[in-house]
Amino acid sequence: MEMTPERWAFLGRYAREVFGTEDEQMEGLMDRAVAAGLPRIAVSADVGRLLKILVSLTPGRLALELGTLAGYSGIWIARGLATDGKLLTIEYEDRHADFAESEFADAGLGDKVEVVRGAALEVLPEMGDRLGPESVDFVFIDAVKSEYVDYFAAVKPMLAVGGLLVADNVYGTGQGWIDEGYGTDEFNRLVGADPDFEATVTPMREGILIARRIR
Ligand SMILES: C[S@@+](CC[C@H](N)C(=O)[O-])C[C@H]1O[C@@H](n2cnc3c(N)ncnc32)[C@H](O)[C@@H]1O
């Protein structure tokens, strides 16, 4: 039996039904965000759970997210951290950052998560200097797709050996897909060929790259 577009769509719904259970706060989060005028472009719950599991496989002391939006993925990441672990999440839009801060507080994560305001490529150099090399256990890239190559250059020195780099939308977005000449092909190939990383992709949602820094 062949994979059809209908079957592919069904399997996505199936994965969200079976592996995408959420608590009450997470369930209502994106509806509240959309009501507040934010776009519905967060990861799905099954991907959120993947993020949490991956963070919890690292020491979970410090995680970094590029692209906070409403705090949905950030809450999943923060829930995978060690007890004293911390998430720094970078967001360009003040309106998104304000909304996310309030959700992090409501989720009881106000002390664990810091929203850093600004454009990722402007914030990261200072952050790298402040945190130092190999200080971050987990990085989730989910901001401007055309900037992924530059994000990789900025976060690579910050990532600890054994740490994980995860990126969303590596097959594309609603605006265009890799086979149409859009997307993050250059980034995927760069990480895939980097001898300091072991990387793969899972076709969940719009493609999730998972790479482990091995040296
Ligand atoms: C796809 S959304 C993030 C979704 C979020 N990670 C989640 O799954 O819940 C991308 C976010 O990146 C923000 N953004 C756009 N340009 C940015 C930049 N240069 N630096 C940091 N954030 C940026 C957008 O405002 C938006 O909130």
Pocket probe mutation, ligand 1, options 22, 93, 99, 121, max atoms within 8 Å of Cβ = 93
Full residue range of the structural domain in which residue 58 is found = 5-213
Closest C-alpha to ligand 1, atom 26: 69
Dist. CA 36 → ligand 1 center (Å): 16
Q: Which of 141, 142, 89 is nearest to 115 (CA)?
A: 89
This prediction has a pTM of 0.97
- Tens digit of pLDDT per residue, the chain (215 long)? 799 999 999 999 999 999 999 999 999 999 999 999 999 999 999 999 999 999 999 999 999 999 999 999 999 999 999 999 999 999 999 999 999 999 999 999 999 999 999 999 999 999 999 999 999 999 999 999 999 999 999 999 999 999 999 999 999 998 889 999 887 999 999 999 999 999 999 999 999 999 999 99
Q: For the domain that residue 159 is a member of, what is the CATH number?
A: 3.40.50.150
The count of structural domains within the chain is 1
Instruction: Give the Cα separation of 49 and 22 in Å (integer).
Output: 9
User: What residues are in contact with ligand 1 under a 6 Å CB criterion?
Assistant: 41-43, 66-69, 72-73, 90-93, 96, 119-120, 142-144
Buried b (16+ CB within 10 A) or exposed e, 20-29: bebeeebeeb
Q: What angle do CA 193, 195, 196 make, to 5 degrees?
A: 120
Instruction: Give the Cα separation of 83 and 61 in Å (integer).
Output: 8
